[in-house]
Structure 1
């Protein structure tokens, strides 16, 4: 594949970490500080591959930890993005009391560890990830890809040449650790279908006692973190100038409006391997793919 038709990336390596980590060009200024950050006992890492619903999840988690109240300002002032902002942003973050929420797209092997810290990983069916990623990279100048082609991104994604690292390898690395007590796995499609159930599961993981909260807190959080509501506050969720909305559709199945059947089958073949390896976690995906062994 001609590299000139891909988004502009820089691949970061570190002597203590496995493999490389791919970021938008010129976005790696704080990456060494990020990798060397020493996790604390009250850290809560919210982790994902890009465009898997992490911003939505941050909004939900924040409200669970703050009696249903929303973020008092821009998200990056209260939830630092470790990969881009580095250690200093965590040290200087405005919200220091209680559990510190930290965003990252690092693979499991790169995320700072602490025995008492907590970790959440959200995963989304990859065909919809590709569609969301397509509009994301077109909208951010750092990728230098405003005229990029969708078919080129599909090829790059299947070959593991997009953001971070190979999506399928990254998901496998996280799900392999899924039985650990300090790690909570969320499937995006289940959050879409049953948001209140997933919020209650999150509350249990975070030791938030819902019985002591107002009776409507779960339904209030569901309502106030809806994608429609978040679209109304779009500029709250990003800092770098962009030409497309940050919060777009967030629906399940939008790939049908963009992909050929051949493209979908290529992706589904790799997805099937994940489902076979993690049938309980990814049971919902059986209804979202067309490839069967």
Structure 2
């Protein structure tokens, strides 16, 4: 057993208040602002052009606004000469050449049309529905799996932790108006997998300690279990974050939203695996009786020193 036990559950009320506050802020932002859906979900046209010389984005936006494309979204795409233009208008055979002509005339330098892509609104609506169903199905499968492997109170705690993580990641994207596209949806599913892995490791240790430490309160069993898994949890999270930070800073615009979603998810998931799931299990009255194996005669029983 760990020599020094950290009293994680001593701060459970503060942690619960913190989580509730984050969830309320996230839900409020989702209701008030909504998500800034990318073209994958809303439909529209994406045009990528490359300039011979770097141009200020403000100048490009003004040029497009003067040409009747005031709602165009203009961002750099990997370098200060590679520009991505997102338009809510449907694609026509002439649209790419029209945009190219407008930008070339205003810039006075060479501009190359690299690609033009179109997503119809019907496809975007289907992607939203299927993405939501994918997340819901993942949570249901998690509930069934952990109920079979551990016990229902463990499963309920794990699912609450996963819902907590997903809502906060969505809330952060809504609050800061970060583009929500298919890469972010993939990141959300990855966050569910990562957070679930952490929660299962902690749950496995809790189950093991409930069977070993039969004469101590449930809150102490949770503290021992969280302390024993703390090192593994932090090392895994930090090494994963290093990779994600590299993707965020040097991976380019295409996967930046993906990296942002995972960075937020890893931080929140690490916190929830230590506090939200265990806190909820304690609130449901988890005890030795839920998991204990009948004691054999002569079997040694561990206890806190």
Using structure 1 for the length normalisation, give the TM-score: 0.22
**Which structure: larger Rg?**
2
Structure showing greater relative contact order (alpha-carbon pairs closer than 8 Å, 6 or more residues apart): 2
User: Which has a greater percent of helix?
Assistant: 2
> What TM-score comes out, normalization by structure 2 length?
0.22
